[in-house]
Structure 1
Amino acid sequence: MTSILTAATEAAHSAVGGLLAKAQIQPGGTIPIASVKEGDAAKAFELRLQGKNIIVGVPGAFTGTCIQLFEQFKSKGVNDVFVVAVNDVFVMKAWKAQLSTSDTGVRFIADDKGAFVSQLGLIFDASPLLGSPRSERFVIVADGHTVELVAVEPDPTKITVTAADKVLALL
């Protein structure tokens, strides 16, 4: 019975990943308004962007990101840096606390259902390693909701084209 349930669960995760996937957002595209969470599991809000913003997608909390260069992004005119993962609020809060004991200004956003990254076309089936569909590792630079730059790691286990210093050089 267990193997039947396991097989059914794996098939469902694969099907969901396939259904959620759509064309990847491109420069000139529009960042969708989607419900996400930050800090409170009971309170979703719509991510509405004003001015220049950076959205960093990661496959999961604790999978690597750099928050030390936040002030350099601010000096380049960036309003907010959002780190988004298909995780729950509690995990995102714990990750932020582990990365910095002070307020970094970097906002850690829980896309607990994967709806936001799915609308961006940046979700993939990470079931073999992480148990469910997850976010690609990406960086989007947006002015308001208009996409200016999209960088997606060819291998989500590595940080190359999405490294903070590489993105700073493009601003």
Structure 2
Amino acid sequence: MLANKEGHKVPDVTFRTRVEGEWKSITTQEIFKGKRVVLFALPGAFTPTCSTTHLPRYNELAPTLKANGIDELICLSVNDTFVMEAWGKDLDAANITLLPDGNGHFSAGMGMLVDKEDLGFGKRSWRYSMLVNDGIIEKMFIEPEKAGDPFEVSDADTMLDFINPSAKKPDHVSVFTKPGCPHCKRAKQLLASKGFTYEEVALGSHGLSYASLNAITGRGTTPQVYINGKHIGGADELEAYFKKA
């Protein structure tokens, strides 16, 4: 059974990382001392749930978490530093520190190192999240021990709700664009001026076509803006939306 380590110190481990092309050793003392840190651990970089949901949502909620007293957000996985660095760049996870537990020493010390040989992964971390205050584990959310890769409690929203249940979460904004579109630029500038962060989905990127755009939005022009699941429309409609707000 996976042990809950609340009230215990984090394991004393030295991580081998790369900083600006040079090897650098970082200790848990350096990472956690005098800070309030959220760490979430997952089975592997570039894996589906980790890449589409777990890390991106923490990255999205990072400003809100930091506004509620969190000094740093860390994503830990039993991968080497080169893989973690490439994954962070691929996801543009600028708000998250990606920590390579390449030898699994931290995960083992947490009692979270599990065998995933059936997937060809070898030893990996179980999925969990924790709030660490000056090196002491204040709260842990450990995924239930069942088959597959459960993802029910270690998500960013659960952590934020624990830290501050009344915290206002950022709006979900998606903008469908195409390269060189002046109206797309105008819509993005308007969103930025109103303090909105947004996900940009560009035509021609990752297989998105005009047919896909029409199927999703019901229109064949760009930009198309969605806020919290509501279809706002193009740049002119976005301006009208903000005037009414």
Instruction: Confirm or deny a common fold (TM above 0.5).
Output: yes
User: Any unmatched runs of 5+ in structure 1?
Assistant: 1-21
Is the 1:26–1:150 Cα contact (8 Å) retained in structure 2? yes
CA–CA separation in structure 1 for the residues paired with 2:80 and 2:68: 31
Q: Could you say what secondary structure the match of 2:45 adopts?
A: coil
The verdict on how the C-alpha distance between 1:120 and 1:77 changes in structure 2, with shifts beyond 3 A counting, is same
Which one of the candidate residues 43, 46, 57 is aligned to 1:62? 46
TM-superposed CA distance for 1:42, in Å, is 3.2
Stretches (4+) displaced over 4 A: none
| Aligned residue identity for 2:3 | Q
Larger displacement relative to structure 2 (38-47 or 57-66): 38-47
Q: Taking CA–CA contacts closer than 8 Å with sequence separation of 6 or more, which of the two structures ends up with the larger relative contact order? A: 1
Partner of 1:27: 6
Which one of the candidate residues 64, 71, 90 is aligned to 1:72? 64
Partner of 1:8: none
| Aligned residue identity for 1:139 | S
| Aligned residue identity for 1:42 | W
User: Any unmatched runs of 5+ in structure 2?
Assistant: 164-245
Q: Could you say what secondary structure the match of 2:82 adopts?
A: helix
RMSD: 1.9
| Aligned residue identity for 1:33 | D
CA–CA separation in structure 2 for the residues paired with 1:73 and 1:38: 25
CA–CA separation in structure 2 for the residues paired with 1:95 and 1:130: 19
CA–CA separation in structure 1 for the residues paired with 2:162 and 2:127: 18
TM-score of the aligned structures, taking structure 2 as reference length:
0.56
CA–CA separation in structure 1 for the residues paired with 2:38 and 2:6: 13
TM-superposed CA distance for 1:25, in Å, is 4.4
1:3-14 matched pairs, under 5 angstroms: none
Query: What is the percent sequence identity of the aligned residues?
Result: 24
TM-score of the aligned structures, taking structure 1 as reference length:
0.79
1:1-171 matched pairs, under 5 angstroms: 24-40=3-19, 42-48=23-29, 49=32, 50-63=34-47, 64=50, 65=55, 66=57, 67-100=59-92, 103-104=94-95, 106-154=96-144, 155=146, 157-171=149-163
Larger displacement relative to structure 2 (87-96 or 25-34): 25-34
